[in-house]
């Protein structure tokens, strides 16, 4: 039965004509991400058997402890994308600055830049909880054959040409969009091939799950506190179920399938929230909107926010459309 399913490679070729710019380069780029994901998946799945769990002893640009697998995944994705000569620049959550690829080569006609969170939720690795990779792809805005600049990366989310994630869990899935819906592919580890398992993924308009770190409740804005109390209230189809894994990819993936909202608001200890606009919020917002969901900072559509820095943080509310609109109501009532 599995062998009759369409492979990711077949799907990419079949749908290449629907890409906004049909040159084959974007298809090769997604294939490169697929390859790097398979390599990282192999390492994640043997993490308990080799010396690759725990911290690497360094901190990243955000001041967070880097896990050994963070460093490994970051190196593998950059190495794969660089060696295949497909992109002109890469920005990673784990790097202080963007990486220019063949920036001095006037013959370099590569059009795309990639922004990536190589291993989202990596602090969960030690306890065998699902983690993931998030990626976002843009066309460069500076002239071909010139070095990439920060301008190529500081684009609004509504300029993305593709985005997706890989979730390394009980099964490994690659989920992505090029602006024509969201499709999910499950890895068959026996032969190393991704098969189309979740075509045309959609958020239910309403959901019964809310995902938020309630340990920070006391620090949340009053509107968010009121919304959480609303979720817990005995009325109609409520109370909702609280589910929070602490890995954005895993929480988002579950909520898209079952219906729910993911929240990481600003709070008194972090006035801009915690999640990064370019590596986490924009790609997830693109996926959410392509899957009939919604993503907001509480006031504004995430993909309309003008980025001002590479590692910019924003509050993030994402998921089933009616749930996101309801939390916006509560937030705006108090602000």
Q: Are strands 112-120 and 172-177 parallel, antiparallel or unpaired?
A: unpaired
**Nearest-CA neighbor of 181 among 291, 288, 256?**
291
d(CA 134, CA 176): 10
Q: Is 72 annotated as a binding residue?
A: no
Residue 2 confidence (pLDDT): 46
Whether 198 has a pLDDT exceeding 90, the answer reads: yes
| 178 — pLDDT class (breaks 50, 70, 90) | very high
Same fold, 2-198 and 209-334: no
Q: Is 196 annotated as a binding residue?
A: no
Q: What is the pLDDT of residues 36-95, one digit of tens each?
A: 999 888 887 765 544 444 454 455 555 555 567 888 899 999 999 988 888 999 999 989
CA dihedral 54, 56, 61, 62 (to 10 degrees): 20
Report whether 27 belongs to an annotated binding site: no
pLDDT at 51: 47
**pLDDT recorded at residue 83:** 86
Question: What is the assigned CATH class of domain 209-334?
Answer: alpha beta
The pLDDT of residue 144: 87
Q: What is the pLDDT of residue 42?
A: 84
Rounded mean pLDDT, 178-201: 94
Arithmetic mean of pLDDT over the chain:
88
* Residue whose token pair is 């920036």: 103
58 carries a ligand binding annotation = no
Topology of domain 2-198 in CATH is Fructose-1,6-Bisphosphatase; Chain A, domain 1 (3.30.540)
* Domain-wise residue ranges, the chain: 2-198, 209-334
**Residue 123 among known ligand-binding residues:** yes
More confident residue, 220 or 127: 220
pLDDT at residue number 282: 98
Check residue 335 and give its pLDDT: 75
The yes-or-no verdict on residue 226 having pLDDT over 70 is yes
Give tens-digit pLDDT for 120-175. 987 777 777 788 999 999 999 999 888 899 999 999 999 999 999 999 988 899 99
Q: Is 197 annotated as a binding residue?
A: no
What is the percent of the chain where pLDDT is above 70?
A: 89
Residue-level pLDDT at 67: 65
Determine if residue 234 is labeled as part of a ligand binding site. Answer: no
pLDDT given at position 56: 45
274 assigned ligand-binding residue:
yes
3-state secondary structure the chain: CHHHCCEHHHHHHHHHHHCCCCCCHHHHHHHHHHHHHHHHHHHHHCCCCCCCCCEEEEECCCCCEEEHHHHHHHHHHHHHHHHCCCEEEEEECCCCCCEECCCCCCCCCCCEEEEEEEEECHHHHHHCCCEEEEEEEEECCCCCCCCCCHHHHCCCHHHCCEEEEEEECCCEEEEEECCCCCEEEEEECCCCEEEEEECCCCCCCCCCEEECCHHHHHHCCHHHHHHHHHHHCCECCECCEECCCCCHHHHHHHHHHHCEEEEECCECCECCCCCEHHHHHHHHHHHHHHCCEEEECCCCEHHHCCCCCCCCECCEEEEEHHHHHHHHHHHHHHC
Q: pLDDT, tens digit, for every residue of 259-285?
A: 999 999 998 888 899 999 999 999 999
Residue 50 to residue 58: CA distance in whole angstroms: 20
What mean pLDDT comes out for the span 191-214? 96
Instruction: Kindly report whether the global pTM for this prediction surpasses the value 0.85.
Output: yes
To the question of whether residue 122 is assigned a binding role by annotation, the answer is yes
pLDDT of residue 69: 82
Residue length of the chain: 335
What does the pLDDT average to over 299-316?
97
Report whether 188 belongs to an annotated binding site.
no
Q: What angle (nearest 5°) sits at the alpha carbon of residue 200, between those of residues 118 and 208?
A: 80
| Annotated binding residue 319 | no
């Amino acid at each position: 039965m599995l062998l009759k399913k369409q492979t990711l490679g077949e799907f990419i070729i079949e749908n290449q004509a629907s890409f906004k710019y049909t040159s084959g380069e974007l298809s090769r780029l997604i294939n490169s991400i697929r390859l790097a994901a398979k390599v990282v998946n192999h390492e994640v799945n043997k993490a308990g058997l080799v010396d690759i769990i725990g911290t690497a002893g360094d901190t990243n640009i955000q001041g967070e402890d880097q896990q050994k697998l963070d460093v490994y995944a970051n190196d593998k994705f950059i190495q794969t994308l660089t060696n295949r000569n497909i992109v002109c620049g890469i920005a990673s959550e784990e790097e202080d600055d963007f990486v220019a690829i063949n920036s001095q080569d006037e013959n370099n006609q590569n059009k795309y830049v990639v922004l990536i969170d190589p291993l989202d939720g990596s602090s969960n690795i030690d306890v065998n909880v699902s983690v993931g990779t998030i990626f976002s792809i843009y066309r460069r805005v500076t002239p071909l054959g010139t070095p990439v600049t920060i301008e190529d990366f500081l684009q609004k989310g509504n300029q993305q040409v593709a985005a997706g994630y890989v979730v390394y869990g009980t099964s490994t899935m690659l989920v992505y969009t090029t602006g024509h819906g969201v499709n999910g592919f499950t890895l068959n580890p026996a032969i190393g091939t991704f098969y189309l398992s979740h075509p045309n993924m959609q958020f239910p308009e309403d959901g019964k799950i809310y995902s938020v770190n309630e340990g920070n409740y006391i620090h949340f804005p009053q509107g968010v506190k009121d919304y959480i109390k609303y979720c817990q209230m005995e009325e109609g189809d409520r109370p909702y179920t609280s589910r929070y894994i602490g890995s954005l990819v895993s929480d988002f993936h579950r909520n898209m399938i079952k219906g729910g909202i993911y929240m990481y608001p600003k709070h008194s200890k972090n006035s801009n929230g915690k999640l990064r606009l370019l590596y986490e919020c924009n790609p997830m917002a693109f996926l959410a909107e392509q899957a009939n969901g919604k993503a907001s900072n509480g006031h504004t559509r995430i993909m309309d926010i003008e980025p001002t820095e590479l590692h910019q943080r924003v509050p993030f509310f994402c998921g089933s459309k009616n749930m996101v609109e309801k939390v916006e109501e509560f937030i705006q009532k108090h602000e």
